[in-house]
Structure 1
């Protein structure tokens, strides 16, 4: 009764303070909130379940005085999950925690919000006189306004021994955020922050090393998959910088508006370059055309969705689960290509398996499956999976280079084998010539012995023999010269043999074993150092990007080696097209398309279309190739008018 009279006679400020204390005591007794006790032996404590009381303000208009009133304080309920979330982004959420210092702590303490994406946090800090002081912070405010210049949100605590302090937090965010509240000592926070920033440095350093190394490879080999891999790595880094708060701290600290949707730009780039890299690395266009069309369609749809969100409603950026679609398509494409026997796809599938598991873990945690929450490991699980995935993608690129090198070595061995056979043939010819010369020499020596036995004819025949000996010496010199010519012209002998009309494709391929040798021969007979630009008539050129192509030094027009030849726009392998042209020419156009199809294992319709083109050229260029012999077939290749160009399917 005495306390009631004292309350009625007190000043309005004292009445308000007493009221707040009574309401806090009533609320504590009704809800049974767990009190977190400060202990110098424990440097940090993560609030969870009954230690956090929650209240949803669907209208977002409740004031602090209303929240602590009996009408609303009784509506606070303990969190039923370890990490509360603002599931309804249109609502404001109130949270309160109670802290008690049982003994006088020798450390300074702070409360940290672990999620850097929370837009607006209003903290109501209890004072010793019973009043509350409010502090605002969050992602919508400039970085320099924070108490601690750190990527997370922190506030200092002032506690006294044997006193309970209840802290209220009003949270409003346009994205679903994890309300991870951590009580930490400042000394522990400094140690933790330094270690965390060291790990960030290692993470982003690895991303930059991957990107820079593959950029150098792209500059050297000019293959697009390396450029897509570089852009993919940079997109991963941009996304991680945007979501972990590092970019807001160091890159755009005064642009909170941009910070709201920077992650969306990174995610869009990440999805697009993931699919482009997948298509280029795995040769999806050639190995799975339907999947390639699906990938192109998803890329276009993803870009369109980004601009729809950006122009009409930026809140749609929060639907991050849409990124699961490009990931599933890339993962599925890798599995399909691996089943088709393309070995570099095995590292690709393994890398995306880790990334797939990381996305699944994040998705399950977002659904509130608490037993999967392993603290820091779960929070950074996606970053760890990104690193593992990029390592295995690097292995996939290296494996692809290894396979290309293996094919090149195989081709080189084939060339060496052919050269060895040529050398053996040359040695056999030389041996036969030496035997002939030896036989000839022995015959002359026998004749000389018989002549010496003739007494009457010695003087006459000696002169004749001397003349014959001189002639033989000259013949030996000529034979040696012929021997040298034979050694240097073995390839010409082989070519002359191959250019005969009755050779098969295997023997013909010894001269033109692959595409490169065909293109090299084609460039020789096409230009023969007599280049003239088809666009401007300039006679000076540089080497182009494609093999054996030439680029005009004046207008930069690049002309491929097959342009303006009989092989332009044909899809037949060029070595088979060479052989088909040779067969048609050798048979004077009498060989049928059925015979060509059987010889070259090409569809009869394709052989008919290409042979019709060659036969027409034989008819049109009849005067030009008349008397040209076996070389006439090469002349019709480059003397080809523009109107003859059609595509051979």
Structure 2
């Protein structure tokens, strides 16, 4: 206990003389929430009190006279000893934000906290508890999330103090974060997405190997799925997804992870898979005997660790690595003797060693982030499964090569048999040949007649091709005649004094008018207005877009119909009537026929008069098409 008091003394001295971005008050550390942040890592920005006898209640802990007994945390582990004692953690948070719609959450990352009780201050001055942990049913949590999350209900410029009572299962590193609701959702979704991809790939590999098992009926493809399932179970227990979705009301399942039962399952399935994998190359039974002895030894060691004499975890880890290394090294030696070099199998086994070492050595800190330290085993497992899959593929290729070699030997034997058969058949052929000569002569005559028939057929095909070409020419001429009849009919119709209903049969809609105007406008040639380039491509509404400068020109530009405010087909009819000598409608009659305002009809007629003056009053019947292309601007 003297060491403990010295340690506490140095903690108090460091708190008094350390300046940080977090404020200090008479009641300890104060975490401030400015407007510019949406999350804060507070893994060491809190105060703690070690309750070695577990005798204090929240009323005693939260009392004003008790606050000076808390110490400032200087390490995420809080303490490296007293694993059986409860730790009280105090967070004092001052919300300096002016935004009223921000909700803040306290997140305690780390699924394997044995028990944690969060005390939320109520308006009556009491504290409302919320208990969770891997020994408690998941449904007891207020927020159904794999981590421990608590809503703070902290208003702008409000200061509140929260307490946590934590019971650890080992000397673990704590990771506390303050996050807004938006940041909490984004963080959770990203985490669940990455975990979903991880489990998705493992499940795909699992189902592929189960498919191979049902197709090939080889135990290799049932041992490997057992290994995959063990790794999935190990991962589900490590990240808390299994507790959240698979066994929320069975917290005893979580204890299997802490007792390394899943690690035992991974080792046993790996040994069985490795034994079957090597024997498919070497056919050595000695490897199987060694594997079964190794499995028995590992089971005995596990039972002793759980029920009898518990070894130090370093000793236990060393013995486990030796147990695994013996069959692996002998199996690798057997593969090399058989001239089989499976690098994927070797590296996959190395990844297995890393998983086992890291699962035992929870205190190893490779990165500064505890989340990265916790999840670093996932890519190792992922790589292990992928490499083992590659080794299986290589083995399938090896077996295929053996199958091909066996087929080659079989083919060679068949060729020898075929040669013997040919010698026997040659004798029979000589006897048959005499009898078949007459048939061959008949066949020659038939062949000659067939050639004559083929020649006749070729001539008939040439005649058919000529007839077909003539029919095509006739069809093309008929099509041209039809088009000419339509054009002549249109021209004849336009020479008559048509009523508007009849005129609409010729120009029924805007698209027909634009098409006609486009052909009329660019009948001779096309030149871009911007760059005078003569190459174009079709644009919307029968316009043309320059291939050089990309300038688009509408059919109505530089015509009487530019910036027209009423339907163009009605403007066509007014233009048509203006050029007729046998039809003379008043503005009122024209307004009634076209269902336009009288002023609109007068305005367009006035525009036509200006165009006629520009054309020097040329009112020949054929001139209305030329009149349409007059530019008055």
Q: Distance in 1 between matches of 2:49 and 2:337?
A: 56
1:203 aligns with 2:186: no
Alpha-carbon shift at residue 128 of structure 1 (Å): 6.0
| TM-score, L = length of structure 1 | 0.55
Cα distance in 2 for partners of 1:186, 1:314 equals 45
Instruction: For 2:429 and 2:246, locate their aligned partners in 1 and report how far apart those are by CA, in whole Å.
Output: 83
Shift of 1:379: 2.4
* Deviations, residues 310-362 of structure 1 (Å, cap 9, x unaligned): 66799999999576566555664565455445536321112233344455566
Equivalent residue number for residue 352 of structure 1: 349
Residue 115 (structure 1) aligned to one of 110, 118, 121: 110
The worse-fitting range, judged by mean Cα deviation, of 308-317 and 239-248 is: 308-317
1:96 alignment partner, one of 76, 82, 90 = 90
What is the 5 A alignment of 1:504-515? none
Instruction: Verify: 1:235 aligned to 2:215, yes or no.
Output: no
- Post-superposition offset of 1:184: 1.2
Shift of 1:48: 2.9
Q: Secondary structure at the match of 1:395?
A: helix
Aligned partners of 2:52 and 2:283: how far apart in 1?
54
**Cα separation, partners in 2 of 1:262 and 1:319, compared to 1, 3 Å:** farther
| Change in CA separation of 1:373 and 1:281 when aligned onto 2, cut-off 3 Å | farther
Rounded to whole Å, the distance in 1 between the matches of 2:410 and 2:146 is 62
* Shift, 1:297, TM fit: 3.0
What does 1:404-423 align with in structure 2 at a 5 Å threshold?
Answer: 404-423=399-418
Give yes or no for the alignment of 1:298 onto 2:304.
Answer: no
Q: Shift of the alpha carbon at 1:433? A: 9.1
Aligned 1:179-194 pairs, distance under 5 A: 179-194=174-189
Alignment of 1:175-574 (within 5 A): 175-261=170-256, 264-283=260-279, 293-307=289-303, 321=317, 328=325, 332=329, 335-337=332-334, 339-340=336-337, 342-343=339-340, 345-358=342-355, 366-367=362-363, 369=365, 372-374=367-369, 376-427=371-422
CA distance in 1, matches of 2:142, 2:316: 31
From 120, 123, 130, give the equivalent of 1:125: 120
Cα displacement (A) at 1:118: 1.4
Deviation at 1:57, TM superposition (A): 3.0
Alignment size in residue pairs? 411
CA contact (8 A) 1:85 1:177 kept: no
Contact kept in structure 2, 1:354 and 1:389, CA below 8 Å: yes
Task: Give the structure 2 partner of residue 59 of structure 1.
Answer: 53
Provide structure 1 residue ranges, at least 5 long, that are not aligned to the other structure: 1-27, 442-471, 474-649
Q: 1:124 to 1:81 in 2, by over 3 A?
A: same
Q: How far apart are the structure 1 equivalents of 2:284 and 2:190?
A: 46
User: Is the alpha carbon distance of 1:164 and 1:324 closer, same or farther for their aligned partners in structure 2, counting shifts above 3 Å?
Assistant: farther
Post-superposition shift, 1:156? 0.7
Q: Is the Cα–Cα contact under 8 Å of residues 202 and 228 in structure 2 kept in the other structure?
A: yes
Give 1:194 deviation, angstroms.
Answer: 2.7
Q: CA 1:357/1:236 → structure 2, altered by over 3 Å: closer, same or farther?
A: closer
State the distance in 2 between where 1:141 and 1:315 align.
Answer: 28
Report the CA distance between 1:42 and its aligned residue.
2.9
- 1:485-524 CA-to-partner distances (Å, cap 9, x unmatched) read xxxxxxxxxxxxxxxxxxxxxxxxxxxxxxxxxxxxxxxx
Question: 2:148 corresponds to which residue?
Answer: 153
Distance 1:158 1:323, change over 3 A: farther
2: CA distance between counterparts of 1:173 and 1:132? Answer: 22
Task: Tell me how far 1:231 sits from its aligned partner.
Answer: 0.9
Deviation for aligned residue 1:406: 0.8
Of structures 1 and 2, the larger Rg is shown by 2
Query: Is contact 2:29–2:47 with CA below 8 Å preserved after alignment?
Result: no
* Displacement of 1:102: 1.4
Which secondary structure does the structure 2 equivalent of 1:236 belong to? helix
Supply the distance in 1 between the matched residues of 2:91 and 2:237 (Cα, whole angstroms).
29
List per-residue Cα deviations over 1:215-255 (Å, max 9, x = no partner): 22122222222111011111111222223222222222222
Give 1:148 deviation, angstroms. 0.6
Deviation, 1:78, is: 3.9
Whole-Å separation in 1 of the counterparts to 2:64 and 2:330: 59
Alignment partner of 1:252: what SS? coil
Q: Deviations over 1:16-46 (max 9, x none)?
A: xxxxxxxxxxxx8589965432245433222
CA contact (8 A) 2:294 2:324 kept: no
In 1, Cα distance between the equivalents of 2:27 and 2:158?
Answer: 17
C-alpha RMSD of matched pairs (Å): 4.1
SS in 2 for 1:165: strand
Please list every run of 5 or more consecutive structure 2 residues that lacks an aligned counterpart in the other structure: 1-22, 436-633
Offset, 1:302: 3.1
Number of the residue aligned with 1:465: none
Residues 411-464 of structure 1, C-alpha deviation per residue, up to 9 Å, x if partnerless? 2222223333443455467668989x99xx9xxxxxxxxxxxxxxxxxxxxxxx
Report deviation, 1:409: 1.1
